[in-house]
Amino acid sequence: MSRLGRLWRTTTFQLTAIFIILFIVFAIGILGYIAFQSSINIQQTQVRGIERELNRLEREYRRGGTRGLVVAIQRIARGAGPGIYFVADQNGVGVAGNIATVPFAVLDNPGQHTFTYQRDRPFRASDPEAEDTEGVALVRSFILPSGYRLVVGRDIVERRGFAVIIFQAFFWGVIMIVILSIIAGVFTARRVLRRLDAIADTSNQIMSGNLSMRVPVTRRNDEFDRLATNLNAMLDRIEQLMQAMKQVTDNIAHDLKTPLTRMRNKVERALHGEMDGEAARAALEATISESDQLLKTFNALLLIARIEAGAPASAFETINVADMLADLVELYAPVAEDAGLAISADAPKGLELVANRELVGQALVNLIENAIKYAQNGDLTGGRENQVTVRAYAGENRTVFEVADKGPGIPQAERERVLQRFVRLEESRTEAGSGLGLSLVAAVARLHKGEIEIFGNDPGTLVRLSLPGAPPQ
């Protein structure tokens, strides 16, 4: 398709064309109205001038009769100007005036008339050499009581010339409006098309695999810049997700390869009879344990995916926070005791939260399990009491959960990274775990429009989970 064809098919150019047509129609209407009203006003001004002349001549007639009127007209007719004056006797023969003849129909029919005439002298005193003495008169005719005919009027050639000038200006004005409007429409459409082409070129490069490309943003801060900014933010998020997906894929491959290899080797040795009965049984039990750990990893991944897909509003209910924390502490008290730790809960009675009970409970379970796991590696010289603390309190329009331990803590530089999937501070990955616990808690926080923060506990770690008091909209 040609450039002009593309330009014509753009919505901007078509809208501009519609606005041009509407503008031209309105402009023609307005200019036509102005021209018409100007002509009417000039005509009305001439009629009022004729009325004033008639009033003056009427006074002359009352003072001097027909003779006085003729003398007055002779005096007035000697001057230059647009006035038309003519007096004829009962037979229509001219007696005085500044025009040679008047059509008999005008003389014999009193009223307003328009006719062509020959001037006795030039129309303007400043142009005595003018040869064009033909004019067009707008007059009022009367039959006096003496039988004489009186004609008084104005030459309207100049008025018609002025009307021609107005309509010529109107015509050329419309032509200029059309031309300038088309130029403006083409310029606007091409400018918009360039911005859209920039977005299309960027999207093509991104689709070809260059995820680092971004839509150009100018300094005009117009609607295209706002669109480009939003698109760039979306592209940044997509690139982050793609990188996270790659990292997750790499971590899954790394975390699954080792246990699957161990499982295969143990099963292979058992099948080839390299083990006695007890050793084979132990190998099978270890294989089941490894399988359970793998299933736990996949279940965690599925749960995170389900959380990020969003939960329906019907899944939210009112939770008694104190009762939920008491149940969790009661459940994990034996586990903590086996690890040489104590665990306690602290929440005000009557504190309630509207949330998904299952997911909030799972998030707190992950935090408690992490606290127990790492607190047993901490310094216990300060005593066993309250080594793991779970508390909840009401914040500003939200409910805050805190799980604290006295373990080795998380370096500040790693506190954001550990919320990602499969991130583990234990790089050798010899300890049990999948690195999904905190990422699941972060997903629960995002689902509830809340947030998760990690602080030092001097020593140890304090994880704060803040959730709004109402379900997200």
**pTM of the full predicted structure?**
0.48
Give me 384's structure tokens.
Answer: 């066993």
Of 365 and 412, which is predicted with more confidence?
Answer: 365
How many angstroms separate the CA atoms of 150 and 110, rounded? 9
At residue 135, the 3 state secondary structure works out as strand
Mean pLDDT of 44-57: 81
Mean pLDDT of 25-48: 78
- The answer to which of 52-61, 356-365, 400-409 has the lowest mean pLDDT is 52-61
Task: Tell me 11's DSSP state.
Answer: H
pLDDT of residue 401: 93
| CATH architecture for segment(s) 246-307 | Orthogonal Bundle (1.10)
In terms of phi and psi (left: phi > 0; alpha: psi -120 to 50; beta: otherwise), the region of 81 is left
pLDDT of residue 99: 81
CATH of segment(s) 11-162: 3.30.450
Is the Cα dihedral 287, 291, 296, 297 positive or negative? positive
pLDDT of residue 128: 47
The DSSP bridge partners found for residue 134 are: 118
pLDDT of residue 428: 45
Of 118 and 108, which is predicted with more confidence?
Answer: 108
- The answer to which of 9-13, 343-347, 377-381, 445-449 has the lowest mean pLDDT is 377-381
pLDDT digits (tens, 9 = 90+) for 186-245: 787 777 778 878 888 888 888 887 878 888 888 888 778 888 888 888 888 888 777 767
pLDDT digits (tens, 9 = 90+) for 11-33: 767 777 787 788 778 877 887 78
pLDDT grade for 408, boundaries at 50, 70 and 90: confident
pLDDT of residue 50: 81
Mean pLDDT of 284-298: 74
Q: Which of 37-41, 86-90, 153-157, 414-418 has the highest mean pLDDT?
A: 86-90
- At 19, which amino acid appears? F
CA atoms within 13 A on the CB side of 226: 3
pLDDT of residue 163: 67
The DSSP bridge partners found for residue 391 are: 346, 402
Give me 309's structure tokens.
Answer: 């897909």
Contact 187, 70 (CB under 8 A): no
How many angstroms separate the CA atoms of 61 and 277, rounded? 152
Query: Above pLDDT 70, what percent of the chain?
Result: 78
- The answer to which of 153-162, 336-345, 429-438 has the lowest mean pLDDT is 429-438
> Does residue 283 have a pLDDT over 50?
yes
Give me 343's structure tokens.
Answer: 């665990």
pLDDT of residue 125: 42
Contact 174, 28 (CB under 8 A): yes
pLDDT of residue 397: 84
At residue 310, the 3 state secondary structure works out as coil
pLDDT of residue 400: 92
pLDDT of residue 17: 77
How many angstroms separate the CA atoms of 182 and 188, rounded? 10
Superfamily of domain 310-468: Histidine kinase-like ATPase, C-terminal domain (3.30.565.10)
Residue reference for tokens 């926070």: 321
Q: How many residues does the chain have?
A: 473
> Does residue 80 have a pLDDT over 60?
yes
pLDDT of residue 126: 44
How many angstroms separate the CA atoms of 301 and 418, rounded? 16
- Name the residue ranges covered by the structural domains of the chain: 11-162, 246-307, 310-468
pLDDT of residue 384: 42
> Does residue 123 have a pLDDT over 60?
no
- At 249, which amino acid appears? T
